[in-house]
A and B are shown apart, each in its own frame.
Chain A
Amino acid sequence: MTSIIQAENLGRWYGEVVGLGDLTVEIEPGITGLVGPNGAGKSTFMKLMVGELRPARGQLTVLGEVPFGNRELHRQLGFCPQQDALYEHQTGRQFVRDLLRLGGWSRREADPLAVRAMERVGLEEAMDRKVNGYSKGMRQRTRLAQAIAHGPKLVIADEPLTGLDPIARRQTLDLFGGLAQDGCSVIISSHVLHEVESLTETMVLIHRGRLLAQGSVREVRRLISHHPSRVDLVARDPRRLASALLPLEHVRSIKLGADPGSLTVETDDIAAFHSSFAGVAAAAGAGVSGLKSDDASLEAVFDYLVG
């Protein structure tokens, strides 16, 4: 299968700040999740893919073409940027239609395509309202509409699920699924693993501007399962609570915190910890007054994976 994206030793700096370090990756057609914590280089990679930026070093081809200033490539690309920016004086329909016209469509052709795109993102009722009155989620969907309206071969969406309510999130995921069924490749970035997980098996994990892992969700999950979960506790007698928890098989370590009564437990099995904790804590009589479970955020996982 021919790769749609080929990056070799790709690097991009913003002055002294590294946006992308040394990324070598190939992405196949279909839906691909580009996952990494904030600041990993996802947006920089996407801006390089759509030709908004030029690499400082390395090679990048998208659909076999060098992206920067490539008008032929832009015909085949749809880009949904992360930044919440629209032409505020326009309606959603005008916004999508005018951008279609820049793509070469006549006014007569562009209008029905714009309407169709707004319908696909669920904004048919709001499309004739000015975008400056849209909610954050509606603005996000409008950005998505302009990315798909011209029927591109490849849609690149930077954090497209941010700001969407659960229903809109589901609709958007379905939309990406539909695009893929129509033969369109989709690359979406996210810093929330389970968002992407529900959409695709294929993931590219980047961290600090480098490729960390690439493959199926299962493989990534396997890496994550080795990552211990953290639970922050507050108790009247933290030492007694620590003594009671330490014998549990799944508890890896316990650290007493600097704040009075605080302690942090690292466990290999968060589910087992939660099921046994209440009984152990009650028996110890340590007076537990607070419990906060580590959210297994990608940042934590990545920190763990990169040591």
Chain B
Amino acid sequence: MNLISALPRATWLIFRMHLATTATSRRALAGILFAAVAPLFAFLAVRIGGGDDSGESVFMYLGVLVLLQVVAPALGVFLGIGAIADETEARTITYPFTRPIPRASVFLGRWLASLLVLTVLLLSSGAAVGAITMGADDPPSTEAVQTFIGATLIAGVLYSLGAAVIGVIFKRGQVIALGYAFAFEVMLANIPGSAQKLSLQFYLRSLFAGGDSADWSSLEIFEMSTFLEPAASAERLLTTALILLVVGCVAVTRKQFVLSS
């Protein structure tokens, strides 16, 4: 079986082997709690906050400040970093690596298992925030909610993929990935000027706030920003994801994983 035909099969097998474990892992259980934060805040703001804010503004603020800027990167890092790092830590990586499969399939299969769990968590969290705020006065439009949730899911793909790659390359990758997501990204994304374009957040925000999405310009943190057209932004994000995928596959293929006995 050549590499091209062996890769999808082995990836599928690895994905299936690890899906249940990933879904019931401590990382995923912590992720459930984290994913519940945004809906909880939305509920408090809409039901208990006295109704001063419209459903739309609650959705926009919580969406950007909590879901997109905190929950998606945090869950992406926690779940993505484990793709290879967990297997190395458990010292089980010897088994797939001494099988006649492309090493890249281990990276892809395990990352995809993490991504599925992450997608379910982010989708549930985003949908819950949308549903709660749509039940309030002056609700957000269905289209705005859908577009925003789409952007959040794309954020999950990128942050988890980035974390998975970091987990392959570095021994203590979680610290590096968290540092990137919560120090570097947050700083760059929220300072005025073109430095924003160095962050993933800029392109993710462009997906829903770019073009003629006038509603989002009412957010104070967006006042100083000039976003890209959503299509151009999607193209850049796709390119980034492809580069990360290639880097991850090459790194796992070439790297020697030294395990203690």
Contacts and interface: CB of A to CB of B under 8 A. Distances in A.
Interface in A258-274: none
A146 B99 CA distance: 11
Contact of A102 (B21, B99, B257, B259): B99
Given A53-B256, A104-B1, A74 B94 contact: no
Nearest to B1: A104
A83 B99 contact: no
Contact of B261 (A77, A79, A83, A146): A83
B97 interface: yes
A86 B98 contact: no
A87 B17 contact: yes
Contact of B91 (A72, A85, A89): A85
Nearest to A94: B17
Contacts of B218: none
A160 to B, nearest CB: 13
Contacts of A102: 10, 13-14, 96, 99-101
Interface of chain A, main secondary structure? loop
B76 to A, nearest CB: 24
Contact of A75 (B14, B100, B261): B100
A234 B253 CA distance: 59
Interface in A40-75: 43, 50-54, 68-69, 71-72, 74-75
A82 interface: yes
Question: Which of A51, A75, A99 lies at the interface centre, i.e. has the most chain B CB atoms within 10 A of its CB?
Answer: A99
B100 A104 contact: yes
A85 B94 contact: yes
Interface of chain B, main secondary structure? loop
A71 B102 CA distance: 7
Contacts of B94: 50, 52, 79, 81, 83, 85
A114 to B, nearest CB: 14
A101 interface: yes
A77 B99 CA distance: 8
Interface residues of B, number: 29
Given A83-B91, A83-B260, A77 B98 contact: yes
Given A53-B256, A54-B256, A69-B253, A98 B98 contact: no
A99 B99 contact: yes
B20 interface: yes
Contacts of A53: 256, 258
A52 B261 contact: no
A263 B181 CA distance: 65
A270 to B, nearest CB: 32
Contacts of A103: 99-100
Interface string B237-261: 0000000000000000100111111
Interface string B88-119: 00111011111111110000000000000000
B97 to A, nearest CB: 6
Contacts of B258: 14, 53
Contact of B90 (A85, A104, A158): A85
B248 to A, nearest CB: 16
Nearest to B3: A71
Contacts of A75: 100
A43 B257 contact: no
B91 A74 contact: no
B6 interface: yes
Contacts of A85: 90-92, 94
Given A52-B256, A102-B10, A79 B21 contact: no
B101 A51 contact: no
Nearest to B96: A102
A89 B26 CA distance: 13
A85 B96 CA distance: 13
A51 B99 CA distance: 10
Nearest to A79: B98
Contact of B13 (A68, A77, A82, A101): A101
Nearest to B9: A104
Interface string B5-26: 0100010011001001100100
Given A68-B256, A158-B261, 16 more contacts: A51-B97, A51-B98, A52-B97, A53-B258, A69-B253, A71-B101, A72-B100, A74-B98, A74-B99, A74-B100, A83-B260, A87-B17, A87-B95, A89-B24, A98-B13, A102-B100
Interface of B: 1, 6, 10, 13-14, 17, 20-21, 24, 90-92, 94-103, 253, 256-261
5 contacts: A51-B97, A68-B256, A69-B103, A83-B261, A98-B13
Top 6 nearest A-B pairs by Cβ distance? Answer: A85-B91, A71-B100, A102-B99, A74-B100, A75-B100, A83-B91
